[in-house]
Structure 1
Amino acid sequence: MIVKNVKIYTMNDAAEVIEHGYVKITGGKFTEVGSGEPSFDDKDIIDGEGMALYPGFIDAHTHLGLTSSGVGIEGEDLNEEFDPCTPQLRIIDGINPIDYSFEQARKAGVTSVLVSPGSTNPIAGQIYAIKTAGKRIDKMIIRNVGMKFSMGENPKLTYMDKDDSPCTRMAVASTIREALFKAVRYNSDIDAAESEEDLPDYDIKSEALLPVLHREVTAHFHCHRADDIFTAVRIANEFNLDYTLVHCTDGHLIADELAEENTTCIVGPVICDRCKPEMANLTPENAAALTRNGIDTAICTDHSEVPIEYLPLSVGIAVKNGLSFYNGLRAVTEIPAKIGRIFDRTGSIEVGKDADFTLFEGNPFEVFSSPSLVSINGSIVYRNTGE
Structure 2
Amino acid sequence: MRKALFSAAAAAALAFTATAAAHAETVAITNARILTAGPAGEIASGTVVFKDGKIVAVGAKLAPPADAKVIDAHGGVVAPGFFATGSLLGAVEVGSLGNDLSVNNPEIGASFDIQYGLNPGSVQFPVARLGGLTSAVVLPIPAGRRGGDADEEDDDDASQYTAGPSDTGSKSHALFSGQGAVITLNVGDAILTRPKVAMVAPFGAGGATIAGGARGAEFVALKEAFADVRDYMKNKAAYDRAGYRGLALSKGDLEALIPVLEGKMPLVAVVKRASDIRQVLAFARDEHIKVILDGAQEAWMVAPEIAKAGVPVLLNPLDDRPESYEELAATMDNAGRLSAAGVTVALEATGGSSREREMRYGAGNAVSHGMAYDAALKAITINPAKIFGVADRTGSLEPGKDADLVVWTGDPFEPLSQATAVFIHGQAQPMTSRQLELRDRYKDLGRPLPPGYVHP
TM range (shorter): 0.7 to 0.9
For the residue of structure 2 that corresponds to 1:363, the secondary structure is: coil
Name the aligned partner's letter for residue 77 of structure 2.
A
Whole-angstrom CA distance in 1 between matches of 2:105 and 2:410? 48
Which one has a bigger Cα radius of gyration?
2
Decide whether aligned partners of structure 1 residues 133 and 303 sit closer, same or farther in structure 2, where only a CA change above 3 A counts: farther
Decide whether aligned partners of structure 1 residues 62 and 345 sit closer, same or farther in structure 2, where only a CA change above 3 A counts: same
Whole-angstrom CA distance in 1 between matches of 2:108 and 2:341? 34
2:90 matched residue in structure 1: 65
Decide whether aligned partners of structure 1 residues 287 and 229 sit closer, same or farther in structure 2, where only a CA change above 3 A counts: same
1:125 matched residue in structure 2: 178
Whole-angstrom CA distance in 1 between matches of 2:429 and 2:353? 25
Whole-angstrom CA distance in 2 between matches of 1:274 and 1:305? 24
Decide whether aligned partners of structure 1 residues 303 and 174 sit closer, same or farther in structure 2, where only a CA change above 3 A counts: farther
2:170 matched residue in structure 1: none
Judging by fraction of residues, say which structure has more strand: 1
1:169 matched residue in structure 2: 215
**1:140-194 residue CA offsets vs partner (Å, 9 max, x unmatched):** 333431111111233445x4xxxxx43322222233222222222222335xx79
Decide whether aligned partners of structure 1 residues 114 and 217 sit closer, same or farther in structure 2, where only a CA change above 3 A counts: same
Q: Which moved more, 1:58-67 or 1:102-111?
A: 58-67
1:353 matched residue in structure 2: 401
Name the aligned partner's letter for residue 109 of structure 2.
T
**1:287-328 residue CA offsets vs partner (Å, 9 max, x unmatched):** 001111111111112562883111101111111100111111
The question of whether the paired residues in 2 share the 8 Å contact of 1:65 and 1:97 is answered with yes
Name the aligned partner's letter for residue 194 of structure 2.
I
**1:224-245 residue CA offsets vs partner (Å, 9 max, x unmatched):** 1112212221221122112211
Name the aligned partner's letter for residue 179 of structure 2.
Q
Among candidates 194, 219, 225, match of residue 142 of structure 1: 194
Among candidates 233, 255, 264, match of residue 187 of structure 1: 233
The question of whether the paired residues in 2 share the 8 Å contact of 1:249 and 1:282 is answered with yes
For the residue of structure 1 that corresponds to 2:255, the secondary structure is: helix
Whole-angstrom CA distance in 1 between matches of 2:415 and 2:132? 14
Q: By how many angstroms is 1:219 displaced?
A: 1.4
For the residue of structure 2 that corresponds to 1:205, the secondary structure is: helix
The question of whether the paired residues in 2 share the 8 Å contact of 1:3 and 1:22 is answered with yes
Among candidates 206, 211, 217, match of residue 154 of structure 1: 206
For the residue of structure 2 that corresponds to 1:221, the secondary structure is: strand
Q: Which moved more, 1:356-365 or 1:75-84?
A: 75-84
Q: Which moved more, 1:270-279 or 1:249-258?
A: 270-279
The question of whether the paired residues in 2 share the 8 Å contact of 1:131 and 1:142 is answered with no
**Structure 2 matches for 1:362-381, cutoff 5 A?**
362-381=410-429
Q: Which moved more, 1:144-153 or 1:33-42?
A: 33-42
Name the aligned partner's letter for residue 79 of structure 1.
S
Q: By how many angstroms is 1:217 displaced?
A: 2.0
For the residue of structure 1 that corresponds to 2:419, the secondary structure is: coil
Decide whether aligned partners of structure 1 residues 19 and 269 sit closer, same or farther in structure 2, where only a CA change above 3 A counts: closer
Among candidates 117, 122, 139, match of residue 116 of structure 1: 139
The question of whether the paired residues in 2 share the 8 Å contact of 1:85 and 1:175 is answered with no
1:24 matched residue in structure 2: 49
The question of whether the paired residues in 2 share the 8 Å contact of 1:148 and 1:222 is answered with yes
Q: By how many angstroms is 1:93 displaced?
A: 1.9
1:101 matched residue in structure 2: 124
Among candidates 282, 294, 306, match of residue 246 of structure 1: 294
1:162 matched residue in structure 2: none
Whole-angstrom CA distance in 1 between matches of 2:71 and 2:416? 24
2:167 matched residue in structure 1: none
In the superposition, the TM-score normalised over structure 1's length comes to 0.88
Unaligned runs of 5+ in 1: 160-164
Whole-angstrom CA distance in 2 between matches of 1:382 and 1:65? 18
Among candidates 265, 275, 280, match of residue 313 of structure 2: 265
Q: Which moved more, 1:89-98 or 1:271-280?
A: 271-280
Decide whether aligned partners of structure 1 residues 272 and 289 sit closer, same or farther in structure 2, where only a CA change above 3 A counts: closer
The question of whether the paired residues in 2 share the 8 Å contact of 1:6 and 1:50 is answered with yes
For the residue of structure 2 that corresponds to 1:72, the secondary structure is: helix
Name the aligned partner's letter for residue 30 of structure 2.
K
Name the aligned partner's letter for residue 230 of structure 2.
V
Whole-angstrom CA distance in 2 between matches of 1:237 and 1:16? 34
Whole-angstrom CA distance in 1 between matches of 2:325 and 2:115? 32
For the residue of structure 2 that corresponds to 1:365, the secondary structure is: coil
Decide whether aligned partners of structure 1 residues 213 and 113 sit closer, same or farther in structure 2, where only a CA change above 3 A counts: same
For the residue of structure 2 that corresponds to 1:181, the secondary structure is: helix
In the superposition, the TM-score normalised over structure 2's length comes to 0.75
Name the aligned partner's letter for residue 6 of structure 1.
A
Unaligned runs of 5+ in 2: 1-26, 144-173, 441-456
The question of whether the paired residues in 1 share the 8 Å contact of 2:319 and 2:331 is answered with no
Q: By how many angstroms is 1:2 displaced?
A: 1.6
Whole-angstrom CA distance in 1 between matches of 2:351 and 2:114? 14
For the residue of structure 2 that corresponds to 1:275, the secondary structure is: coil
Whole-angstrom CA distance in 1 between matches of 2:243 and 2:345? 42
2:75 matched residue in structure 1: 50
